[in-house]
Amino acid sequence: MPTTRIILDTDPGVDDALTVLLALASPEIQLEALTTICGNIGIEKTTRNALAVLELANASHIPVARGCESPLVSLLGKSGEAVHGTSGLGQANLTEPKAQPVKQHAIDYLIERILAEPGQITLFTIGPMTNLALAIRKDPRIVPAIKELIIMGGAIRQGGNVTPLAEFNIHADAHAAHIVFHSGIPITLVPLDATYKCLLTYADIEHLNRINSRIARFVRDSTSDYMDFYRKYEGFDGCALHDPLTLAVILAPELFTFEEHHVDVDISGGVGNGNTFADFMKVSKKPANMRVALDVRGRDFVELFLQRMETLCRSMEEPTQ
């Protein structure tokens, strides 16, 4: 299988950080750059965390471009500190990164990288889509030049995780999602319908930590608050691997049940604001604008994730004292 070259637009964030690690641990994927966005936490911290996670995995050669510090129209949402901790990475204490973001703004960085090699870059957005939406409006030529866009976002039949109807990434910048959904870019959407089936458990994390590696410890420390949150609010032991699951669209597409649908997002500002909905009955008569992952073999993905993390941990295993 040829390597898939990806750029990850991200708001690290615990599950974002795990996505970066999974990408680095996967030979099928070549992670070419990260662009950052405000979301789980503010832009200063998401950018710092992106650099710090790359350094943790000895991958600081991968460039990071800093993006927008606020959504298009919505007010900056409730901080995700309750879920992701004050640093954005739970209890993990990563050293201050030595590397700096590139000078270019993420909007221009995306435009330049995509136009430099049309049809070569698969883009992942695992945070609010402000950067991509503005890149589309600033230079519409990127639309046909993006090979594929894979989005973590939305809740189709599933309830929302930030309002009863809306998922966090879409709700944080519903207007940006609207721009992206209607852009004509070939999209695969990975909504909560699929991600909530992928639960990383305490036992999984203990198992991984039999290996003495800073990666294993990072997985444990970053997810501990995240798990407490899930136990307290969602009533289960474990945490959902929302963002990492997007990579499975490349790594193990056979795990998913995909359907082609016309999906839109409510930007009316009412109770459904940020709600994503699919036109299952074709009542709008509009052609499908994306492929939606409505189901996934969740445990199979978690096993794949753990396997890859183990390999990464072993490659950086430290001698036991």
Judged by CB under 8 A, the residue of 28, 58, 118, 138 near another protein is 138
The reply to whether 288 sits near another protein by the rule CB under 8 A is no
Contacts of 297 (CB under 8 A, 6+ apart): 197, 255
165 binds another protein (CB under 8 A): no
Residues 97-126 that bind another protein (CB under 8 A): 105, 107-108
CB of residue 56 to another protein, shortest distance in Å: 29
Q: Which of 211, 267, 288, 316 binds another protein (CB under 8 A)?
A: 267
Size of the residue set binding another protein (CB under 8 A): 22
Comparing CB distances to another protein, the nearer of 52 and 64 is 64
Selected binder of another protein within 3, 58, 73, 257 (CB under 8 A): 73
38-57 positions binding another protein, by CB under 8 A? none
Window of 3-11, 138-146, 238-246, 297-305 that interacts with another protein by CB under 8 A: 138-146
**Is residue 197 within the footprint of another protein (CB under 8 A)?**
no
The nearest distance, CB 135 to another protein, in angstroms, is 10
Yes or no: say if 149 and 176 are a contact pair by the CB < 8 Å rule.
Answer: no
Report the alpha-carbon distance of residue 247 to residue 151 in Å, rounded: 10
207 is an active site residue = no
Binding of residue 140 to another protein (CB under 8 A): yes
Using the minimum distance from each CB to another protein, give the nearer residue, 139 or 228: 139
Is 284 a binding residue for another protein by CB under 8 A? The answer is no
8 A C-beta contact, residue 274 and residue 320? no
Q: How far apart are CA 68 and CA 82, in angstroms?
A: 22
Q: Min. distance of Cβ 103 from another protein in angstroms?
A: 13
Binding test (CB under 8 A) with another protein, winner from 70, 79, 163, 201? 70
- 268 forms part of the interface with another protein (CB under 8 A): yes
Q: CB of residue 72 vs another protein: minimum separation in angstroms? A: 6
Does position 263 bind another protein by CB under 8 A?
no
Site for another protein (CB under 8 A): which residue of 31, 123, 179, 215? 179
Q: What is the SS3 assignment for the chain?
A: CCCEEEEEEECCCHHHHHHHHHHHCCCCEEEEEEEECCCCCCHHHHHHHHHHHHHHCCCCCCCEECCCCCCCCCCCCCCCHHHHCCCCCCCCCCCCCCCCCCCCCHHHHHHHHHHHCCCCCEEEECCCCHHHHHHHHHCCCHHHHCCEEEEECCCCCCCCCCCCCCCHHHHHCHHHHHHHHCCCCCEEEECHHHHCCCEECHHHHHHHCCCCEHHHHHHHHHHHHHHHHHHHHHCCCCEECHHHHHHHHHHCHHHEEEEEECEEECCCCCCCCCCEEECCCCCCCCCCCEEEEEEECHHHHHHHHHHHHHHHHHHCECCCC
Candidate list 84, 178, 217, 297; residue touching another protein; CB under 8 A: 178
Q: Binding to another protein by residue 72, rule CB under 8 A?
A: yes
Q: Which of 105, 242, 261, 262 is catalytic?
A: 242
Cα 91 from chain centroid (whole Å):
20
Binding test (CB under 8 A) with another protein, winner from 78, 82, 137, 299: 137
CA dist 225 → 5, 24, 81 (Å) = 32, 24, 10
175 binds another protein (CB under 8 A): yes
Interface positions with another protein (CB under 8 A)? 68-70, 72-73, 105, 107-108, 130, 133-134, 137-140, 175, 178-179, 267-270
Which residues are annotated as catalytic?
A: 242
